[in-house]
């Protein structure tokens, strides 16, 4: 018996098109990798995606609750990378409390106990505020509490709205759809900024984001949102337009946020993810605002009668 999305024609067709296109692009970049820095960087990114893309399609094709387990695990790995980034990974009490908090969110989503989800930031704050008392220590505790709460809010409560989207009908395809749009937006913005970008509104944060790149990325993302709208449970214009705008606009917010952290800490990058370039934070950063924004927009748009 076939489970999950393996017997869904929309899923199989989308996976074949995207993985096939990625294979062709990777082959092209392989032969062009010595032609200049943009091609070399593109090849490094393509190598990562030749590993990541099949993993994503496999994870979301599995029967419930495995897609939620995958999303939750990505949140925990992101929190781990964040703690390493800010030099707090050795503070195990705070680190493990954050991990347990994110796993708890996955459990809450899986069992539909959403009233606890809404209360989770307050509950988490209370728990980590107990740590200084239990350890009878006040040294640097303001910093540790603040960073732990930041990690939980970003890669727990906020990002885990992607897990809440999984609870909707067709949720696995919806989450995959949003992630694909986010990646298209980010990579288009990066490529255009690298080749033609001149106006850098956030030059003190990153030189990789330009006005030209953002505008072209918005157009390309909206085209992809239309072209892949079959992945949504409802193909109405309001849903795919909202998805494209959220991915293009709020995906950049996550990217800029991580760059703020990096610049403030004097760190060049956030690590290497398996193969190629970029760390796990770079894979997930774009979703910390996309997840909650589209979750609540989707609910709102369902309740409005546009006739």
Instruction: Give pLDDT tens digits for 97-119.
Output: 999 999 999 999 999 888 899 99
Sign of CA dihedral 195, 197, 198, 203: negative
Q: Taking the model in full, what pTM does it have? A: 0.88
The token pair that represents 288 in the structure block? 């910390």
The radius of gyration of the chain's CA atoms, rounded to the nearest angstrom, is 20
- Give the residue ranges of DSSP H helices in 62-170: 66-85, 92-110, 114-135, 141-152, 161-165
Look at residue 55 and tell me whether its pLDDT is greater than 90: no
Distance CA 90, CA 133 (A): 19
Average the pLDDT over each of 26-40, 158-172, 236-250 and give the range with the smallest value: 26-40
Of the candidates 60, 29, 307, which has an alpha carbon nearest to the alpha carbon of residue 174?
A: 60
Domain chopping of the chain, boundaries: 1-63+171-307, 65-167
Answer for the pair 149, 280: CB distance below 8 angstroms, yes or no: no
Distance CA 242, CA 262 (A): 30
pLDDT averaged over every residue in the chain: 87
Instruction: Give pLDDT tens digits for 254-293.
Output: 888 888 888 888 876 555 444 445 567 777 888 999 999 9
- Give the residue ranges of DSSP H helices in the chain: 9-32, 37-61, 66-85, 92-110, 114-135, 141-152, 161-165, 171-195, 211-227, 237-265, 280-284, 287-303
Residue 133 CB burial class (10 angstroms; 0-12, 13-18, ≥19): exposed
Which residue in the block uniquely carries the two structure tokens 């589209």? Answer: 294
Distance CA 256, CA 105 (A): 26
Instruction: Give pLDDT tens digits for 222-256.
Output: 999 999 999 998 889 999 999 999 999 998 888 88
Q: For residue 266, what are the contacts with CB-CB under 8 A and spacing of at least 6?
A: none
DSSP code of 23?
A: H
Q: For residue 85, what are the contacts with CB-CB under 8 A and spacing of at least 6?
A: 261, 262, 265, 267, 270, 281
Confidence band of 74 (pLDDT split at 50, 70, 90): very high
Q: What are phi and psi of 58, to 5 degrees?
A: -65, -45
Q: For residue 161, what are the contacts with CB-CB under 8 A and spacing of at least 6?
A: 291, 292, 294, 295
């Amino acid at each position: 018996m076939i489970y999950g999305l393996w017997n869904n024609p929309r899923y199989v067709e989308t996976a074949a098109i995207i993985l096939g296109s990625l294979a062709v692009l990777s082959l092209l970049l392989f032969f062009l990798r010595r032609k200049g820095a943009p091609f070399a960087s593109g090849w490094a990114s393509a190598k990562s995606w030749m590993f990541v893309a099949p993993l994503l399609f496999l994870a979301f094709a599995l029967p419930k609750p495995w897609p939620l387990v995958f999303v939750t695990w990505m949140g925990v790995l992101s929190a781990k990378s964040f703690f390493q980034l800010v030099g707090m990974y050795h503070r195990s009490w705070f680190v493990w409390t954050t991990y347990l908090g994110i796993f708890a969110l996955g459990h809450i989503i899986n069992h539909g106990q959403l009233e606890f989800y809404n209360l989770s930031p307050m509950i988490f704050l209370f728990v980590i505020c107990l740590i200084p008392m239990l350890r009878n220590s006040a040294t640097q505790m303001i910093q540790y509490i603040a960073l732990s709460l930041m990690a939980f809010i970003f890669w727990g409560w906020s990002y885990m709205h992607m897990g809440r989207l999984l609870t909707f009908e067709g949720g696995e395809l919806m989450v995959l759809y949003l992630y694909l749009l986010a990646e298209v937006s980010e990579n288009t913005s990066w490529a255009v900024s690298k080749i033609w970008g001149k106006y850098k509104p956030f030059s003190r944060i990153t030189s990789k984001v330009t006005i030209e790149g953002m505008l072209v990325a918005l157009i390309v993302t909206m085209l992809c949102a239309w072209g892949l709208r079959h992945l949504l449970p409802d193909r109405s214009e309001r849903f795919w337009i909202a998805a494209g705008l959220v991915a293009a606009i709020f995906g950049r917010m996550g990217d800029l946020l991580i760059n703020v952290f990096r610049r403030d800490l004097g760190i060049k990058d956030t690590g290497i993810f398996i193969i190629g370039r970029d760390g796990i934070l770079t894979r997930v950063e774009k979703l910390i605002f996309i997840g909650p924004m589209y979750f609540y927009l989707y609910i709102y748009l369902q309740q409005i009668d546009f006739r």
